[in-house]
Amino acid sequence: MKKKLYCIICLYGLISIMLCACGKQELANMTTEVTDYYASIIWKDKTYVPYCAISEKNRGKQIGIVDDDEDNRIYEYKGYSSDEWIVNSYISGLMDGSMLYKEINVSDIPDGLESEYEWNN
């Protein structure tokens, strides 16, 4: 009986470890490209440019980091496809701001948003 109980406990322990490992989110590693006017974020075959500052409450789940810097985080923009919109947030001891980036070819702008930059007009 003790041997059977020991085997069951070991089996549950092994299953718990496997489930924890499977649940770990794999983050995309994105890069930056600097121009004369802005620093864009490159992910897959898409280029994202800064659009406007937004509230942290508009961030969805984290989907990536920029240039292998775990403090330079990329999130989904709640309610929108990450093929068109992403949120960049750099975590530092002084400030945690969120900047909305749009894919450079996107022309359908969500209501209530206005770009702070002339290259988006």
pLDDT over threshold 90, residue 2? no
Beta strands 59-66 and 69-77, pairing class: antiparallel
The whole-number pLDDT of residue 93 equals: 60
Token duo for residue 103: 């894919």
Q: pLDDT band at residue 121, thresholds of 50, 70 and 90?
A: confident
- Report field, pTM of the whole predicted structure over 0.85: no
Cα separation, 65 vs 89, whole angstroms: 9
**pLDDT tens, residue by residue, 7-34:** 566 555 556 565 555 555 689 999 999 9
**pLDDT tens, residue by residue, 68-104:** 999 999 999 999 999 999 999 988 766 668 999 999 9
The helix/strand/coil state of 37 is: coil
Cα separation, 74 vs 28, whole angstroms: 9
